[in-house]
Structure 1
């Protein structure tokens, strides 16, 4: 099933908003994560961890889920399909993995933010940061973005079979005539 151009454009706008917003929210998270090792001020460390928790739960997670949901919907109702082209399949798998890792990692961020709320100055200055997860996630998100911009050719086996079936249905049938 495919949808008309107005609905497709609306879905595309929603998907792009969620996806680009996700990248922006990860950049905000990274700014806070980089502040932790860069400062000697315990209150900055406390604020950074609390901020990372808030940005994570209230911006990154909803945008990741929105990107995943709108991406699946776009694949289901456009000519690209979910499983027909390798670039769509790779984007889907990457988004599912990133979203799953994010949701599994956020409780750890909450634990660290709770620690930051109660620690004294020395404990705060000894806290680590959360740069690695965010950098890896950002690199993967940008990779998926580039993949979706260039849309390299290549059908999956499923996509190839679907295309062959469509071609055979569209091909005119020949009938032999007797002379």
Structure 2
């Protein structure tokens, strides 16, 4: 079902804004994680981890869900479809995986905010926060690149839908690829 142009543009604007916001807030989270990892002043380190927790729960998590929701709306309301093209499917899988891992990662960020991580005894947790944030930036840049380049490739479902649409336009019954050929 195609959306009217005005609604489609509104949905696209919401999707781009939430996606870019998610990427930017994760980049901020990475900067705070680096400040926490390299900081010498215990108050500055604690402040970085408190800011990371707040940024995570009040900015990153809502933007992740907004991106997922607006992406679903975009895919279901446009000709791209949700399962027709591999690049859309890849974006969906990456976004769902990133959102799930974000929720798990936020437990580490919350623990970091409650703990004094300025000591070297918890350097593993501090490094994990930097590595996770850097990986998230890489994943979000990948989904951005997929949106821009839209690599070719139609799924089997996409081929069936495309063939059915062609058959409907031609006025003949759709041919199912799985159906046996007439004898």
Normalised to the residue count of structure 2, the TM-score between the two structures is: 0.88
Partner of 1:14: 14
Counterparts of 1:48 and 1:97, CA distance in 2: 26
**Secondary structure of 1:154 counterpart:** coil
Q: Give matches, 1:1-179, under 5 Å.
A: 1-116=1-116, 124-126=118-120, 127-128=122-123, 129=126, 130-172=129-171
Normalised to the residue count of structure 1, the TM-score between the two structures is: 0.90
Q: Show CA shifts across 1:100-139 (max 9, x none).
A: 00012112211111113xxxxxx62334321000000100
How far is the alpha carbon of 1:172 from its aligned partner? 4.9
**Secondary structure of 2:60 counterpart:** helix
Equivalent residues of 1:35, 1:48 under 8 A apart: yes
Counterparts of 1:84 and 1:102, CA distance in 2: 27
Bigger Rg, structure 1 or 2: 1
**Superposed structure 1 runs of 4+ greater than 3 Å apart:** none
Counterparts of 1:172 and 1:37, CA distance in 2: 65
Q: Show CA shifts across 1:121-177 (max 9, x none).
A: xx623343210000001001101100110111111000000001111111256xxxx
Question: Which piece of structure 1 moves more, 90-99 or 102-111?
Answer: 102-111
- RMSD of Structure 2 on Structure 1 (CA): 1.2
Structure 1 unaligned runs (5+)?
A: 117-122, 174-179
Structure 2 unaligned runs (5+)?
A: 173-183
Counterparts of 2:146 and 2:113, CA distance in 1: 35
Counterparts of 1:172 and 1:52, CA distance in 2: 58
